[in-house]
Chains A and B, each alone.
Chain A
Amino acid sequence: MEQLLTANVATNLYWLGRYLERIGSTFILVMKAYDSVIDIDKDEGVALYKKFGIDLKYTNSQSFLNNAILGEHSANIYNLTLMARENAIICRSHIDTEAFGEIMDLNAILERASKNKIDITHQCIDSSDSIIREIWGTLSRRKNRQSSDYFFRLGKVVEELDFHLRFDSDKELVKVVVKNIDSIIKKLLCKNEADVEAYQSLNAEKEDIMAEIDKRIGQIIVG
């Protein structure tokens, strides 16, 4: 796994993973809420965005989609794709060419919608979601994984954990994700297990778990 990487590239790969996972997970939750907002529970979208700390306003299911995806708030998906695009450009020589192209495409789809004020449709979300799946697919198909792949994946699983904690997922599920993070960190640190697994106590508060993980990542990227 010996591969040289600058701290800047490692950080950008990590955040690329986080943003892509954040976008993908948000799509899933938005589509679930959208289904409910149509004719089951109009306030489902409000409740969802409360979890993100956002007071989302909408009048019907279409405006829910538009405001959820492109509204002026910190979870604006177009802005997230812009950040992912920046991360990808900075570390492009360390990611799969096809995956890089897919990230540019994802940004282009949402840029068109945002700049032309086009209504967000479920097809738009579906095709964007497929792109994200394709990006992760290209990563899983790589045979010889290197540090760059692990940083990218680490970002993904840390974001997964963030979502699980935010949405009070089952403790066992959280445990699986933390274990996954552990194993990636272990690969990146190449240190002994005991040292890495020290923070595995899941009795800790949610914030403490994330803080501990951030601390560990700070130990990996020291350059």
Chain B
Amino acid sequence: MLEKSTESHEKFWEIFSKQDRKKIDEFKKYMDKFAINFNLYKDGNFIERSLPFDVVPRIISKEDFSKIEKGLVQRVTALNMFLEDLYTDEKIINDGVVPREFVLQAKGYLEKFKGFSPSQKIRTHINGIDLVKDSANDEWVILEDNLRVPSGSSYPLSIRDTYRKIYPDFFESMKIKPIKQYPKYIADAMNYVNCGGINIVLSPGRFNAAYYEHSYLADKIGAELVRAHELKVVDKKLYFKNYDGRLIKVGAVYRRLDDDFLDPSFFNPDSLIGVPGLVEAYLSGNVAIMNGIGNGVADDKGIYYFVPKMIKYYLGEEPILQNAPTYLPYFKEDMDYIFNNMEKLVIKDVAEAGGYGVLFGHAMTATKIADLKLIIKADPRRFIAQELVEFYDEKCYIDGKLQDRKADFRAYVVMGKDVKVWECGLTRYALEAGNYLVNSSQGGGFKDTWIME
């Protein structure tokens, strides 16, 4: 089902009908020429591939974006307050809003960081919040909060430049918000928390799926792109090793690797992509790390259930954007509901990401459902269940024809002195009709997102 067409949609189709369709090929050529890749490992082989791109943009009205913007500023503010509280005073737990046991069982909760407050008390610097627009009530719904290392912003940033050059008519005739300010949002956020020194982007290296993005963003935000062995910790301070042997102090790290790999002397000792001593430098207040260490607890799919409660608890406000209806088998009442309605629910493993560990009840056999019930019963904290949100399709121009595909929207929210919602985002669509999984790691493609002025 498609969203109701707006004036902007009509305008788009009017201009689109007059454009030379052959020029669509230029997008792929551009992405190949500039190696705009999202890499994959398949059967042990490293495969460089460009993300499939669809020329039909997602168009978001000014009114819709205004609500999304307010809702996301509210949500990320509350999530940041939750993390700060959780690792310091634990008021929300002591007041019984979030069960202590439930939090402590979250894989992303790192007890060793209890009592530590990072620079400017900011932990959720760069966030990717996944939304869909529910066709049942025409409202945007939050599906997931990504508060660790959300990726994807470089793709729309890169493609927009090309889009404007290939099809300038749209940008001349439609009032589309410009998007180039995003790297500045990140740079400002980095500078705000910087503990004295240069800004860097820490990448696992050339063979990471999102290496293109690491390199692109480092360039655009004016930070040095480095790998772990190009850094050194001396006296609890982090240094960048310059080619001439000089050590330059680092004040803020935009890390593109998970907590587990960040520091082999603190986390996984086998990590070859981490910096020994980095956590100590962080805990000594000598360097800011964005996003904060230990954020995994807040983007745990189980904790997601509690975000509307956090908004009310910390801000005294009603949530502007709603969660998808979610049930926790951890609670007896919810477990009963889930077991009685498995066929119509989506079951998610809280420890998985990237579209993995998502099971659709309607697509499962009776035996599989029975097996799943046993697994859930044995470890209820590991799962959540959600009502299947029938979100809108988006028109896609695939194989020379317009076809409908499921699409979500990842909004990027940057927290520095202020909280900014980028006036673009990553619209991801499923390559096959009827598929609800749109993740890039599941082979999904992307579209440009036009926010109307």
Contacts and interface: CB of A to CB of B under 8 A. Distances in A.
A17 to B, nearest CB: 15
B242 A97 contact: no
A111 to B, nearest CB: 11
A6 B229 CA distance: 10
Given A4-B198, A90-B206, A220 B243 contact: yes
B134 interface: no
B361 to A, nearest CB: 43
Contacts of A89: 35, 206, 211, 215
Interface string B222-254: 001111001000000000111111001000000
Interface residues on B, range: 20 to 34
Given A89-B35, A93-B218, A6 B224 contact: yes
B224 A223 contact: no
Interface string B142-173: 00000000000000000000000000000000
Interface stretch (A28-36, A98-106, A157-165, A197-205): A98-106
A108 interface: yes
A84 interface: no
Contacts of A104: 32-35
B224 A4 contact: yes
Contacts, number: 63
A97 B215 contact: no
Contact of A100 (B34, B211, B224): B34
A93 B225 contact: yes
Contacts of A101: 33-34
Per DSSP, are chain A's interface residues mostly helix, strand or loop, or mixed? helix
A220 B219 CA distance: 24
Contact of A8 (B219, B230, B244, B245): B230
A108 B48 CA distance: 13
A8 B203 CA distance: 13
B33 A4 contact: no
Contacts of A7: 230, 241, 243
Interface of B: 32-35, 198, 206, 211, 215-216, 218-219, 224-227, 230, 240-245, 248
Given A5-B242, A6-B243, 6 more contacts: A4-B224, A10-B243, A89-B211, A93-B216, A93-B219, A97-B34
16 contacts: A4-B248, A5-B243, A6-B224, A6-B230, A6-B241, A6-B242, A89-B35, A92-B215, A93-B225, A97-B34, A100-B35, A104-B35, A108-B32, A220-B244, A222-B243, A223-B230
Interface of A: 4-10, 86, 89-90, 92-93, 97, 100-101, 104-105, 108, 147, 220-223
